[in-house]
Amino acid sequence: MASSGLSSLTGIFRVSKQPAQRLTPECGIDRHVSLVPLCPRIYFDVTKILVIDDSKMMRLYLRRCLEKAGYEVEDWESPSAMEIPERITASAPDLILCDFQMPGCNGTTVARMAQRNHPKIPLLILTAFHDKEMESNLLRLRVRQVLAKPIEAAALTQAIEDALATPEQVA
């Protein structure tokens, strides 16, 4: 059965056969809506990616790539180090994708603050300045991968899928 509208209502999944029909919380069955009991609710789980970059153009590019791949995206301009833990808690991302070089707060600071307060959230760092020492320092902070800019959408998506599929390595 092809459905065009879905809703979760306290243990009831309503399926509309007509796209323009308004789904209402009343119980009852009519010729357009069927009710199917659930145990207890259905939630549609979408992976949320937090993008942190000081470049508006880069945030827009990353958002477009990630949304096209089916991810929910929240983006921030470079935050201050002190607000990172609280904002990450409020955002509740499944993965953080962060630029390395930003004014005021670089990728190392984001990695330290994120891992100290949210160690299970995978973190990927993007950088245009590849440096082996910087990369090894970031990997010691449990950054999953350091990615080079510019990055193709397919490579970005693959890196995110790999980070989400790999369990956290506890040091």
Tens digit of each residue's pLDDT (9 = 90 or more) over 122-161: 999 999 988 899 999 999 999 999 999 999 999 999 999 9
Q: Which of 5-9, 52-56, 96-100, 139-143 has the lowest mean pLDDT?
A: 5-9
Residue 130 CA, chain-centre distance (Å), reads 25
pTM of the model: 0.72
Is the pLDDT at 70 greater than 60? The verdict is yes
pLDDT of res. 167: 75
- pLDDT at residue 18 greater than cutoff 50: no
The stretches of 118-169 forming alpha helices (DSSP H) are 132-140, 153-165
What's the confidence (pLDDT) of residue 75?
Answer: 94
pLDDT at 166: 83
- CA of residue 13 relative to chain centroid, distance: 26
The domains of the chain, with CATH numbers, are 5-37 (no CATH), 48-165 (3.40.50.2300)
Name beta bridge partners: 67: none
| Exposure letters 74-86 (e unless 16+ CB within 10 A, then b) | ebbebbeeeebee
